[in-house]
């Protein structure tokens, strides 16, 4: 089988696609693997927030079109960028073992940040939790690929910025990290640190091959986290954080919904059998909803629309 991989053109996206390509090339049923780098609207429009231009789904739409038009067979994504509702005809054929799920502060440690320091992040989830930790800091929008964001930090535009640990590790930039946020300080986005492989539902032979790559532990935590977000009716930009862990046969899921300024927050956890990941996610979403999570999200959506 020959496999064409649709990928974004950023350095991190290409690293992830090459990582998947290397794994596929070792598979007995794969004869050749080719990368199909594509530009997406999410990469091209950097002067407006994702909330205003349609969300993180803009990072993957062109990749799905390439699969529809038979220019590619699979697409490789950071799962945190994948909308919780998959478009008709597409599925996640496999997820790889989870890398680091945490966020990192780059440019300064949390303790050494000056009062009213300026921190760069366009994530409402990160902004809300930063405000809970340090109400005094100013958070300014920051978009672009990892190198672009680091360049703005190095240029003095920000006192510090927040980036995913996994991305920095994959690019060999781990030394730039000044502080790794613990789950108590900052919960990650759903499926952060997980690489997913998307394909067409109708391609049964390819789906069977991809199943060999699927990591069962990452698949369970990814399912649980994305199900919480789906049931809360969150999108990729919502200030929703979800983190699932498994120890033996026990899964614990913790979630947070907060106003971007940290003024309101709902946080809760559930635990139970890892085999019941979807049911645990539903249970947690119900608890969060009862505590007012959806009202917070509705208020944010209303302010964005205004």
Walk along the chain (306 residues) and give the pLDDT tens digit of each residue: 999 999 999 999 999 999 999 999 999 999 999 999 998 665 554 444 445 444 455 678 999 999 999 999 999 999 999 999 999 999 999 999 999 999 999 999 999 999 999 999 999 999 999 999 999 999 999 988 999 999 999 999 999 999 999 999 999 999 999 999 999 999 999 999 999 999 999 999 999 999 999 999 999 999 999 999 999 988 767 899 999 999 999 999 999 999 999 999 999 999 999 999 999 999 999 999 999 999 999 988 877 654
Assigned domain for 223 exists: no
Do 139 and 71 belong together in one domain? no
Do 249 and 283 belong together in one domain? yes
* DSSP strands (E only) in the chain: 2-8, 32-38, 74-78, 90-95, 103-106, 118-120, 138-140, 160-164, 177-180, 195-200, 240-247, 250-258, 265-273
Assigned domain for 32 exists: yes
Do 163 and 232 belong together in one domain? no
Assigned domain for 188 exists: no
Do 271 and 140 belong together in one domain? no
Do 13 and 154 belong together in one domain? no
Domain holding 157, by residue range, is 103-180
Do 142 and 290 belong together in one domain? no
Work out the number of other CB atoms within 10 angstroms of the CB of residue 39.
Answer: 11
Do 6 and 90 belong together in one domain? yes
Calpha distance 16→171 (Å, rounded): 10
81, 103, 159, 268: the catalytic one is 81
Do 16 and 77 belong together in one domain? yes
Is 81 one of the annotated active-site residues of the chain? yes
Do 202 and 152 belong together in one domain? no
Say how many domains are in the chain: 3
């Amino acid at each position: 089988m020959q496999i064409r991989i649709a990928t974004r053109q950023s350095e991190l996206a290409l690293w992830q696609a090459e990582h998947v390509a290397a794994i596929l090339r070792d598979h007995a049923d794969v004869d050749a693997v080719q990368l199909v780098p594509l530009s997406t609207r999410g990469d091209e429009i950097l002067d407006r927030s994702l909330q205003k231009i349609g969300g993180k789904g803009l990072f993957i739409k062109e990749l799905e079109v390439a699969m529809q038009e038979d220019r590619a067979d699979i697409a490789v994504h950071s799962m945190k960028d994948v909308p919780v509702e998959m478009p008709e005809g597409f599925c996640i054929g496999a997820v790889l073992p989870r890398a680091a799920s945490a966020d990192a502060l780059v440019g300064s440690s949390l303790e050494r940040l000056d009062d009213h320091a300026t921190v760069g992040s366009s994530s409402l989830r990160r902004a809300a939790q930063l405000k809970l930790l340090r109400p005094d800091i100013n958070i300014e929008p920051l978009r672009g690929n990892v190198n672009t964001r680091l360049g703005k930090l190095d240029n003095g535009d920000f006192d510090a910025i927040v980036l995913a640990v996994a991305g920095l590790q994959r690019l060999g930039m781990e030394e730039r990290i000044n502080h790794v946020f613990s789950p108590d300080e900052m919960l990650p986005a759903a499926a952060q640190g997980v690489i997913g492989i998307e394909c067409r539902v109708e391609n049964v032979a390819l789906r069977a091959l991809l199943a060999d790559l699927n990591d069962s532990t990452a698949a369970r935590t990814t399912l649980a986290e994305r199900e919480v977000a789906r049931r809360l009716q969150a999108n990729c930009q919502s200030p929703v954080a979800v983190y699932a862990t498994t120890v033996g046969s026990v899964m614990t899921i913790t979630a947070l919904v907060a106003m971007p300024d940290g003024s309101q927050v709902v946080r809760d956890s559930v635990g139970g059998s890892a085999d019941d990941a979807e049911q645990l996610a539903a249970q947690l979403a119900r608890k969060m909803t009862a505590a007012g999570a959806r009202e917070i999200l509705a208020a944010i959506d209303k302010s964005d629309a205004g």
